[in-house]
Structure 1
Amino acid sequence: MKNYALLAVLWICGFSNAFSAEGINRKMIITTQEWAPYHFKLPSGEVGGEATEVVKRVLDEMNIKYEITIYPWARAQAMVKDGEADAFFAASWNEERSSYAVLSKVFVPQKWYWFLNKDSNLDPNSREFQKSEPVAVLLGTNMQKYLRDNNYIISGTPGDMDALVKMLDAKRIKAVLVNDKVIEEYFANNKIDAGKYKKILCRDMPLGMYFSKKFLHEHKWFLDKFNNVVTKHSLIK
């Protein structure tokens, strides 16, 4: 009889451990940036946006408690690197980020476009442009790293879209590299005529969510489950 009781206790403990192995006993700390239409602060103070809604649906389905906070983008990433946060989104892959975090399955489409003044005949994808013309890009973005790695002449790295567009309008630079949905949202919100500019495709760079390696080491089951669930909610068709 004692043996049966012992087996029952061991079975219950084993079940409990299996359950806790796929749970998180605290709130996940997640960082992002003000980057409409992907993520932005709502009048309620909550974070909304099309990428945010995917993340919320996935984590809710996984029964994960979480807190999403907006920071300047460079800080949002540094907090994950320094162990102050568990994840950041939405982001495309790069080697630097992948040294301290792991990218999920991508779930939001993104294209990088060059925006130039309408009267420009330059091709920012050409070697000649790359070696001779000044450009600008938002600080802390993967686009900044791409330009640096490919030896573009970066003459400005402002922290917001307003300053970036003003540089282009003032013709201080010949082109800006941006996410086209983000800059077009900015144009619409600020009643700026998008016809003043021309755009040229640079790269297709879909977005996912980066989780710190420390977090994934502590919760080894998490990434596979997140990737399975996010497939159902992905905006990439």
Structure 2
Amino acid sequence: MKNYALLAVLWIFGFSNAFSAEEINRKIIITTQEWAPYHFKLPSGEVGGEATEVVKRVLDEMNIKYEITIYPWARAQAMVKDGEADAFFAASWNEERSSYAVLSKVFVPQKWYWFLNKDSNLDPNSREFQQSEPVAVLLGTNMQKYLRDNNYIISGTPGDMDALVKMLDAKRIKAVLVNDKVIEEYFANNKIDAGKYKKILCRDMPLGMYFSKKFLNEHKWFLDRFNNVVRKYSLIK
């Protein structure tokens, strides 16, 4: 009987040590971009938005300390690649990102849409369009990589939505590829008539959070736990 009691004590001790080993004794550094309604800077200076709230709820439930900072999107990703940050969000899968980071379970719906001037009869998903018409896309996005990989004629990669919409209005390009929620939020905030444009679905590309492979190698338990908790708060129904 004493042997069973001793084994029980040793098991509890080992379990508690394993649990304490699954702690992160620092803030994890998270980068993102200004990309309403998913993430944006609040008047308080903190980062808000629907994707941000999911991330905060998950990490709070996991008792993880964190710091979320907004950067230009290309820099936000490069900081994770270069080891200056641990994670970035919200992002869809691509091969380049996955060379240095691992995507979590996706938790935010996203659709890519083509936006064209209302009088256009072009089909941006057609091979004819792909081979002959100029398009534009935001710099550093997965959409940019998609266009490049599929040999679209990319005539502009501005760093913000304002410049992208101006290119379309000036008819310097025939279409822009964007997240429809983001551009429609931009239209609403800037009192732009969305009826000036037509939109055509390109792809369904849900979003998650990329964690650096270095971070996950140091905390091998982390991603499974994150994915288990994020199911509770996912915006994908």
TM bin, normalised by shorter chain, reads over 0.9
Q: C-alpha displacement at 1:21, in angstroms?
A: 2.2
Do the aligned partners of residues 133 and 3 (structure 1) sit closer, same or farther apart at CA in structure 2, a change above 3 Å counting?
same
CA root-mean-square deviation: 2.1
d(CA) in 2 for partners of 1:105, 1:9: 37
Q: Deviations over 1:73-96 (max 9, x none)?
A: 000000000000000000000000
Unaligned runs of 5+ in 1: none
For the residue of structure 1 that corresponds to 2:199, the secondary structure is strand
Percentage of matched positions with identical amino acids: 97
What does the per-residue CA deviation read over 1:169-223, in whole Å, with 9 as the maximum and x for residues that have no partner? 0000000000000000000000000000000000000000000000000000000
Question: CA offsets per residue over residues 23-78 of structure 1, 9 Å max, x none?
Answer: 11110000000000000000000000000000000000000000000000000000
The list of structure 1 runs, each at least 4 consecutive aligned residues, that deviate by more than 4 angstroms after superposition, is 1-13
For residues 143-175 of structure 1, what are the alpha-carbon distances to aligned partners after superposition, in whole Å with 9 as ceiling and x for unaligned? Answer: 000000000000000000000000000000000
SS in 1 for 2:85: coil
Q: CA deviation at 1:14?
A: 3.0
1:131 to 1:4, Cα distance in 2 relative to 1, 3 A: closer
1:92 aligns with 2:92: yes
Query: What is the CA distance between 1:19 and its match in structure 2?
Result: 2.1
Distance 1:4 1:224 in 2: 32
For residue 108 of structure 2, give the secondary structure of its aligned residue in structure 1: coil
Residue correspondences, number: 237
**CA deviation map 1:91-145 (0-9, x unaligned):** 0000000000000000000000000000000000000000000000000000000
Normalised TM-score (structure 2): 0.95
What's the secondary structure of 1:90's corresponding residue?
Answer: strand
Return the TM-score normalized by structure 1.
0.95
Cα distance between partner residues in 2 of 1:21 and 1:55: 23
